[in-house]
């Protein structure tokens, strides 16, 4: 067995072994990780948290619940080595923010002994399992795991518990313009909208239209299938300058064949068309001198 097999096995069983089935705090306790209470002031948000956006209306709703019932779901944390009696939040930052707003002084926590990589994995899985993470933050979290910890998409799919195609399609959303991402982050557009917008030549303009008119995902997909949009999506051939056109004519006259030049940066391509094997033989003889 290779040296990394125990680690792979540990992660391969799913991070549910660390965080419980879909974040069920009872399952966490049953797995030998008892919860205890800690002052809210001792908890610190993680800079690696895949969640970057917190919708105000969601926070207000959760704050009202916490004010009435307290923090029921434990917050997953790990100890901070550089700060005594302090913990870094792995999963549950939104609960921590709501507790602060509600004036709650302490909350249940479960302390985990995990690496940076495992902490990020848990944060992503905990949020994704709850369908609680918007698609852009989810994609950024995947990208961080790939860039920081050298994951392949296949390995990431195995650890996160999603299909390889889901990982790939989610990562593609990072190619969208920032203005479109902002609509997804604030909830104006869904991940389905975002995927459909990727196929359009001007996703930013289409996104503004979708938000203004309240278009459904099917509506945006229909926009992509429209004939006028398809024609816009075809790249236009760059206009050739006069020098290039003149050189094409000179080469065509010298060879007696149709010659096309396609400049690309400092170089380019030269295409020579022949209509018969005799023309090809003639060209070969000339090239050989």
239 noted as active-site residue? no
Task: Tell which residue, 77, 81, 74, 82, has the closest CA to residue 111.
Answer: 77
- Whether the predicted pLDDT of 279 surpasses 50: yes
Instruction: Give the pLDDT of residue 208.
Output: 92
Instruction: Give the pLDDT of residue 129.
Output: 59
Domain boundaries, the chain: 5-130, 176-233, 242-288
Instruction: Give the pLDDT of residue 130.
Output: 59
- Whether the predicted pLDDT of 242 surpasses 70: yes
Q: In the structure, what pLDDT confidence band is assigned to residue 128 with cuts at 50, 70 and 90?
A: low
Share above pLDDT 90 across residues of the chain, in percent, rounded to a whole number: 11
Catalytic, out of 60, 68, 85, 93: 93
- Taking only the tens place, the pLDDT of each residue in 23-36 is 443 344 334 567 88
- Whether the predicted pLDDT of 196 surpasses 70: yes
Q: How far apart are CA 172 and CA 170, in angstroms?
A: 5
- Whether the predicted pLDDT of 22 surpasses 90: no
Any idea which of 18-27, 35-44, 261-270 has the lowest mean pLDDT?
18-27
Average pLDDT on 60-89 reads: 85
Task: Provide CB contacts within 8 A for 133, sequence distance 6+.
Answer: 50, 51, 124, 127, 141
Task: Tell which residue, 216, 180, 212, 214, has the closest CA to residue 197.
Answer: 180
Greater confidence, 176 or 19?
176
Q: How many CB atoms lie within 10 A of CB 179?
A: 12
Instruction: Give the pLDDT of residue 177.
Output: 92
**Domain 5-130 falls in which CATH fold?**
3.90.1530
């Amino acid at each position: 067995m290779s040296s990394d097999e125990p680690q792979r096995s540990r992660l391969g069983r799913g991070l549910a072994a660390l965080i419980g089935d879909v974040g069920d705090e009872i399952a966490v306790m049953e797995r030998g990780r008892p919860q205890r209470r800690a002052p809210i002031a001792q908890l610190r948000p993680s800079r690696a948290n895949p969640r970057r956006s917190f919708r105000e209306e969601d926070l207000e709703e959760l704050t009202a619940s916490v004010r009435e019932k307290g923090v029921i779901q434990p917050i997953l944390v790990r100890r901070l080595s550089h700060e005594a009696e302090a913990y870094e939040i792995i999963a549950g930052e939104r609960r921590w923010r709501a507790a602060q707003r509600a004036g709650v002084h302490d909350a249940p926590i479960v302390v985990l002994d995990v690496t940076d990589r495992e902490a990020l994995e848990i944060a992503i899985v905990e949020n994704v399992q709850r369908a609680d993470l918007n698609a852009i933050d989810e994609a950024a979290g995947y990208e961080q795991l790939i860039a920081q910890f050298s994951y392949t998409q296949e390995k990431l799919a195995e650890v996160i518990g999603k299909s390889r195609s889901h990982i790939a399609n989610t990562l593609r959303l990072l190619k969208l313009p920032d203005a479109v991402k902002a609509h997804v982050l604030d909830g104006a557009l869904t991940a389905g909208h975002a995927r459909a917008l990727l196929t359009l030549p001007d996703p930013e303009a289409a996104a503004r239209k979708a938000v203004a008119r309240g278009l459904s995902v099917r509506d945006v997909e229909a926009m992509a299938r429209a004939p006028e949009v398809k024609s816009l999506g075809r790249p236009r051939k760059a206009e050739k300058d006069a020098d290039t056109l003149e050189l094409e004519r000179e080469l065509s006259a010298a060879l007696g064949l149709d010659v096309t030049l396609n400049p690309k940066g400092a170089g380019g391509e030269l295409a020579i068309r022949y209509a018969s094997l005799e023309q090809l033989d003639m060209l070969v003889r000339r090239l050989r001198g």
